[in-house]
Amino acid sequence: MNRTSFLDLLSRYQQGHCTENEKIFVEQWYESLGEQDQVNLSSTDLSNMSARVSDKLFRNMPQTKEPIRRSISWYKIAVAASIGIVLACSALYAYNYNNAEAAFKKDNGESTLISKTNTSTKTLQVELNDHSVVTLQPNASIIFPATFSKDKRMVYLKGDAFFSVTKNPKQPFYVFNNKLRVRVLGTSFFVRGEAGQVAVSTGKVEVNENTCRNLFHFLKKKKVDGVLLTPNQKAVFDEQHEQIQKTLVDKPLPLATLNHTPSAVNLKFSETSLAEIFELLSKVYGITINLKDPETSKCEFTGDINNKGLYEQLDLICQSISASYTVKGTEISITANNCN
């Protein structure tokens, strides 16, 4: 610092026009030099003094880094937040989007697809090119190829319908809906679309989850096990627990009735043992009926249970011996006290 600069600094200090650092410099300078006449000093003396004061000043000042200031654009933040919300909503929609129908159409992309919808209040019969017949309930619809492929027959159902499928082991029949995939060789069964249920009347069907319904099905850790159904059995898809439950239909019918064949079975009994009665009922309905206590099998029943439903028949028999029955899965268990 030369003499002219020094005097200019003192002048600005007195007028209050110097910077904060210059103010500190001057005050530190006065403190270090005491009562000497600053104006009469030579330029060399002033430079030396300036160097000493500057050294002292910066050694006493805390060495903090200048904070990096970045300007925040609230517009950019709003845009980013909006994009994030859109992406999150899109991901949620995609995860919950049911892809079953789209997957079916893609698998049958080379076929001419026909769509039939029952807009009436009565049932509507639709005959397929293999002579299978689909009975659509009101508001139900079905999509199917005009001509089935050689190795399989596939249809897509929305709503409820009864199927009477022409038997052809070499050309399995598949019914898809938004929850289930039903594989058939030749049988008749009822599908409830929204309820995710399949009830079998004749033959056998295999029921599995329609994994194509979820775009992200490959991310699922748990595989839903399929079930094999026989007459008077039904499958219910439990989405919450990710399983297909196998149980009896609400109103089991005799196999002869389901197959539209005559039956000579007489259900009028006179002092007939329970073992004999339940063995006969098991054959009539194709349902396993167990007596928990073997001793109870010797109990006898007298009565006419013709023209009654299975559960009503069981009620009458159990009331006569103070017994009860429970349905667990596809079996019925009889619990009774000793009838003697």
Residuewise pLDDT in 10s, the chain (340 residues) = 555 666 566 667 666 777 777 777 766 666 655 444 444 445 555 555 555 545 544 454 445 555 555 555 665 666 666 666 655 555 544 444 567 888 888 888 888 999 999 999 999 999 999 999 999 999 999 999 999 998 899 999 999 999 999 999 889 999 999 889 999 877 899 999 878 899 999 999 999 988 877 655 545 556 788 999 999 999 999 888 888 999 999 999 999 999 888 888 999 999 999 999 999 999 999 999 998 887 788 888 999 999 999 999 999 999 888 889 999 999 999 987 766 5
- Tell me: do 232 and 112 sit in the same domain: yes
Q: Is residue 216 part of a domain?
A: yes
pTM, 2 dp: 0.66
**Which CATH number covers residue 215?**
2.60.120.1440
Tell me which DSSP letter residue 335 carries.
E
Of the candidates 221, 220, 189, the residue with the CA atom closest to the CA atom of residue 202: 189
**Pairing of β 268-273 and β 300-304:** antiparallel
Question: Are residues 310 and 281 in contact, defined by beta-carbon separation less than 8 angstroms?
Answer: yes
Q: Is residue 74 part of a domain?
A: no
Distance (Å, rounded) from C-alpha 200 to C-alpha 231? 5
Q: Is residue 11 part of a domain?
A: yes
234 lies in which domain range? 100-248
Alpha-carbon distances of 154 from 139, 286, 332, 333, rounded to whole Å: 21, 29, 35, 38
Residues comprising the chain, all counted: 340
Q: Is residue 152 part of a domain?
A: yes
